[in-house]
Homo-oligomer: A and B are copies of this chain.
Amino acid sequence: MNIKAIFYNIGNLLKVEAGLLTLPLIVSFIYHDGNYFAFLIPIFLLLTIGFLVTAKRKPDQKIYAKEGFVIVGLSWIIMSLFGALPFYISREIPSFINAFFETASGFTTTGATILTDIEALSYSLLFWRGFTHWIGGMGILVFVLAFMPNTKAHSIYIMKAESSGPQVGKIVSKVKITAQILYFIYIALTIIEIIFLLFKMPLYDSVTHAFATAGTGGFSIKNASIAYYDSVYIETVITVFMFLFGINFTVFYLILIGNVKQAIKSEEFRWYFIIAIVAITLVTINCYSMYGSFGRTLRYSSFQVISVMTCTGFSTFNFNIWPMFSKTLLIILMMIGACAGSTGGGLKISRVIIYIKMIVKEIKYSIHPRQMTAVTFDKKPVDESILKGISHFLIAYISILLIGMLILSLDGYSFTTNFTAVVTCFSNCGPGLDAVGPVENYSSFSVLSKLVLTFVMLAGRLEIFPMLILFTPRMWKYR
């Protein structure tokens, strides 16, 4: 294990986080909200530690998959710990565990909050809260790869560990260029959303909500979330952008280079579209009697379905009071999630497609044992090692879900609460059902439960294995 390279990479990350914290500091100056030290202290700490760690001669940067996992896993925990400081120092979130939970929820783009009154927070902290979504959406280490000098060829392992989906690939042959293309698309889409939102929202609201949409995070600056604005225009813009940010970014790249044909052919994208349409239709039919008007039902159902299936978690209606069928469907959509290689969460549609194909293949094989068929995706056969990987992913997911539920159950909440809390945190969505419904919050969970849910959020965002490996004692025995 190349411990030095791990330290060096994390040191770099700390410096970047210090840089990112200057943005909310500027916001604090603009609004004169007096939170200067809440940002200056962590910036000072991050820079000091960052430079101390990276001060020595640059180590051998040769790293492999395991170092990639460890760098990513550790980075996200450390980043959340330091990112929690502004909330804690300002005393706007007086409990450190709550501040840590909120920050991890931000970076992982979960959007689960411990705040009972969001609007009580100052401008700069609400900005930072939304900004964590934007940083976490595409990945801070991908950001480092894209914009910091001296990133080595082996950094593919870091990118693989931080990106989502069963088959993480480079868009172009160089990792650095790939990272830059991803961030270019990400920044461009975010700016376009801000512009659209500006027609009906103040600049501050537009920026923070665009951050939360881009990362498919879901932190709003209003207690009532998007329902506060009660505007069909805003809901439509956000729905469209949530959907866009749930698409595999390779699709946008293909469109950018003029290869629209291949972009539309993407199997995952097609299913993403079909699932969205079918789910909206089903929820609209199921909820029609609640609203009595087709237009109103469609308005709420389409927003909520897209919000949940992209794992953003914004809400315009307390879906906890919807009929059970719609609620169950939302939970299933949340588990499935959005496309791989997007900022959305969940198991990812490509994984689910492959799961279904594996079952179909098993059935076909039982019927015709001599006809060997391979599982294909986008018309190419999927490698056996990837099939194994995604099978293991499901096993690990179910294990985390059950163990998580069991620990949460010590708090005495309902079975539904515990189940949906773990699912929504794993999918990086935010709201669940019952006591974690869209109008509730996570403040009253015990410290243990909050730590478990934070672990689950990180495991969900980093696709489990970086977190599991980090907590394997064996990992730290050998060098």
Identity of the chain B residue whose Cβ is nearest the Cβ of A364 in the assembled complex: B474
Q: A66-B367, A402-B335, A416-B415 are in contact. Are A468 and B359 (CB under 8 A)?
A: yes
Interface string of A40-82 (1 = CB under 8 A from B): 0000000000000000000000001110010000000000000
Contacts of A335 in B (CB 8 A): 402
**Cβ-defined partner of A394 (8 Å) among B329, B363, B395, B414:** B395
CB distance B465 to A363 under 8 Å?
yes
Contacts of A413 in B (CB 8 A): 324
CB distance B412 to A323 under 8 Å?
yes
Asked if A91 is at the interface of the complex by the 8 Å CB criterion, the answer is no
Q: A323-B412, A327-B409, A405-B328 are in contact. Are A392 and B362 (CB under 8 A)?
A: yes
**Cβ-defined partner of A369 (8 Å) among B64, B420, B468:** B64
**Cβ-defined partner of A392 (8 Å) among B325, B358, B399, B434:** B358
> Cα distance A399–B360 when bound, in Å?
12
Asked if A448 is at the interface of the complex by the 8 Å CB criterion, the answer is no
Contacts of A328 in B (CB 8 A): 405-406, 409, 415, 418
> Cα distance A327–B405 when bound, in Å?
11
Contacts of A364 in B (CB 8 A): 474
CB distance A362 to B325 under 8 Å?
no
Identity of the chain B residue whose Cβ is nearest the Cβ of A367 in the assembled complex: B66
> Cα distance A328–B66 when bound, in Å?
34
CB distance B359 to A399 under 8 Å?
yes
CB distance A419 to B418 under 8 Å?
no
Interface string of A464-479 (1 = CB under 8 A from B): 0100110010110010
Interface residues of A in 329-355 (CB under 8 A from B): 329, 331-332, 335, 355
Identity of the chain B residue whose Cβ is nearest the Cβ of A402 in the assembled complex: B332
Nearest Cβ on chain B to A353's Cβ, whole angstroms: 12
CB distance A415 to B324 under 8 Å?
yes
CB distance A65 to B327 under 8 Å?
no
> Cα distance A335–B399 when bound, in Å?
12
Nearest Cβ on chain B to A233's Cβ, whole angstroms: 33
Asked if A290 is at the interface of the complex by the 8 Å CB criterion, the answer is no
Contacts of A434 in B (CB 8 A): 415
Contacts of A277 in B (CB 8 A): none
Asked if A114 is at the interface of the complex by the 8 Å CB criterion, the answer is no
24 A–B contacts, CB within 8 A, in A order: A66-B368, A69-B366, A323-B409, A324-B410, A324-B413, A324-B418, A325-B409, A327-B415, A332-B402, A359-B392, A359-B395, A359-B399, A362-B396, A363-B469, A363-B472, A363-B474, A364-B474, A367-B472, A367-B474, A391-B394, A391-B395, A394-B394, A394-B395, A415-B420
A residues contacting B by CB (< 8 A) are 64-66, 69, 323-325, 327-329, 331-332, 335, 355-356, 358-359, 362-364, 366-369, 388-389, 391-392, 394-396, 398-399, 402, 405-406, 409-416, 418-420, 433-434, 465, 468-469, 472, 474-475, 478
A66-B369, A332-B406 given; name 20 further pairs at CB < 8 Å: A65-B369, A66-B366, A323-B412, A324-B418, A325-B409, A325-B410, A327-B415, A328-B406, A329-B406, A332-B402, A358-B392, A359-B399, A359-B468, A362-B389, A362-B396, A367-B472, A368-B478, A394-B395, A414-B416, A415-B433
